[in-house]
Structure 1
Amino acid sequence: AKNGMRKPRVGVAGATGAVGIEMRKKLEERGFPMESLKLFAHPSEEGTPITFAGKEYKCESVSDGCFDDLDICLFSAGGGFSKEYAPKAAAAGCVVVDNSSVFRMDPKCPLVVPEVNPHAVKGHNNIIANPNCTTILMNVPVFPLHKAFHVERAVVSTYQAASGAGLDAMKELEQQARDWAVGDPLTQEIFGRQYIWNLFCHNSPMYQDNGYNEEEWKMVEETPKIFEGPFRVGVT
């Protein structure tokens, strides 16, 4: 906290999205100590009531000075939002924990998995990057093995859920299940294809020089930074 040992003033940016909802749930389940809470959402959702720990809060849209009275803000509102607003929040003295990929490979921003490199958080300049979900899931079990036996490489297969693309994709997956059940044409507005009972290459950009898509490359790039040394990853 900015003023000694009082409880922190907390914000959640992207509070109504799939990840933001889970962030709120975890803060509430764990009884995270806080002096105050701000919930940021899209301007179209401004004023939407959300109940947290028995108290009702109104969603806010981001505005000038909105981070001035916060100590911590959890960001999960997309890379464009983080790129624009995380530096502003940091400059206001708010510690940003960012869920996007924007700052992960920035040498000035720690990339932290608490079970692996919690000490790295000490080096933050008010922005702490959260790794990609698949990177975290691989790093947590592999790092203790790496420490004990010096693992040279990992060969990884990862399968992404529709939830990774947000609430709209989750809803479309449910709708495709309904369509499939009654024999209707499948709703295909998000990815433009069937993804109920299906697998396909991740929809992130493909790197032509190495054949990895962006989602795969995140694990290749992020793991050595978290492990603080060379570590080879082959991933599909």
Structure 2
Amino acid sequence: MGYRVAVVGATGNVGREILNILAERQFPLAEVAAVASPRSTGDIIDFGDTGKELKVRNLDHFDFEGWDMALFAAGSEVSKLHVPRAAAAGCTVIDNSSLYRMDPDVPLIVPEVNPEAIDGYRAKNIIANPNCSTAQMVVALKPLHDAARIKRVVVATYQSVSGAGKQGMDELFEQSRNIFVGDANEPRTFTKQIAFNVIPHIDSFLEDGSTKEEWKMVVETKKILDPRIKVTATCVRVPVFVGHSEAVNIEFENEITADEARAILREAPGVMLIDKREDGGYVTPVECVGDFATFVSRVREDSTVDNGLSIWVVSDNLRKGAALNAVQIAELLGRRHLQKAA
């Protein structure tokens, strides 16, 4: 028999992607429920390409008792109300919001990086899914950290509008169209025009001048990978629909060459190395859409510091940054703890 799995926020970008990936990876399911807010109750959505349709259930009235896992993709406010209720009913929650990520009693998991940390899930029956930009970065950093011990990371992100949800994607489309036809173009989702522009501001500002998105990358990398690593981030929204990119500069304790790093990354779980020093010999966001991998390109030595490397990291943020990682956590939970056969 398989697992009974509820997908909360099933009608959103990430929720739909979770359903697609559960179907693609043939996750062992006895039953799957699409759960969302009352306004979506009764809607019909597809379960991937299986031909099966799911009728959306009302989250406010959904009983989590008897369900093995709930994959939440509905934001922090919804998680605050319903995650404790699901966990108390004996349903293990995998939460995609930021609400529980820094809770010391909740493991923050990227399965290729820190699978053993999932063993602490029983404290609250909750597992946190990291920020989309953090997830892809630590997949690339982990094998290099194991080889040469990372001291410091400087990262600039180029984050797609899908990270702001459907409304972000709609705004980029509408602004781009309006510019071509000469219509008015007032920003709503973003603080400034996003079409043909970049915005160095994601989430709210903190007292030190950084944004909450940048703070998340710092503290989540430390929790997932190693608390001794120093991290500084600049997070930028760019006019790309799907796919986050990152320019990552890394300083190591021990010597590591670009050739050694490429050999390590070539064999690393979850990483696809595409690094040809020629025109087009790298991966861009357009090419990563729909793929499970975290792509690494432009591996080169940084001569301005001892033991330095620079790399380019690209991934589909709706997949590895959110939905895929959540499903991988569910697979890991099943293998290590729940162990139901398909």
Give the TM-score category using the shorter length. Answer: over 0.9
Residue of structure 1 in register with 2:69 after alignment: 72
Query: CA shift at 1:228, angstroms?
Result: 4.0
Tell me by how many angstroms 1:46 deviates.
0.5
Q: Does 1:42 align with 2:40?
A: no
1:186-219 Cα offsets, whole Å, 9 max, x none, are 25332253101111122411111x2210000001
Instruction: Output the TM-score relative to the length of structure 2.
Output: 0.65
Q: Which runs of 4+ in 1 moved over 4 A?
A: none
Q: Which has the higher contact order (CA 8 A, sep 6+)?
A: 2
- Give deviations 1:154-202, integer Å, cap 9, x for gaps: 0000122111111121112111111122122225332253101111122
* Paired residues, number: 230
**Of 219, 222, 229, which aligns to 1:224?**
222
1:7-65 deviation per Cα after TM superposition (whole angstroms, max 9, x unaligned): 10011111111111111111111111101111111211100011222222110111345
Q: Percent identity?
A: 47
Q: Could you state the TM-score of these two structures normalised by the residue count of structure 1? A: 0.93
How far, CA to CA, are the matches of 1:136 and 1:31 in structure 2? 23
Q: Give 1:55-204 correspondences, 5 Å limit.
A: 55-64=52-61, 66-125=63-122, 126-204=125-203
* RMSD (Å), alpha carbons: 1.3
- 8 Å CA contact 2:37–2:60 kept in 1: the answer is no
Q: Check the 8 A contact 1:132/1:218 in 2, yes or no.
A: yes
- Which residue is 2:278 aligned to? none
Aligned to 1:3: none
Partner Cα distance (1:164, 1:221) in 2: 19
CA distance in 1, matches of 2:209, 2:188: 27
Structure 2: distance between partners of 1:51 and 1:207 = 40
SS for the counterpart of 1:152 is strand
Report the Cα distance in structure 1 between the residues aligned to 2:176 and 2:45, rounded to whole angstroms.
29
In 2, the alpha carbon distance for the partners of 1:195 and 1:77 equals 24
Contact 1:172 1:187 in 2 (8 A): no
Taking a change above 3 Å as real, the CA distance of residues 185 and 229 of structure 1, as seen in their structure-2 partners, is same
Match of 2:321 in 1: none
Distance 1:83 1:33 in 2: 28
Gaps of 5+ in 1: 1-5
Contact between 2:13 and 2:166, CA under 8 Å: does it hold in 1?
yes
More strand by share: 2
Please give the alpha-carbon distance, in whole angstroms, between the structure 2 residues aligned to 1:163 and 1:149: 34
Distance 1:205 1:166 in 2: 16
In structure 2, which of residues 5, 12, 35 is the aligned counterpart of residue 17 of structure 1?
A: 12
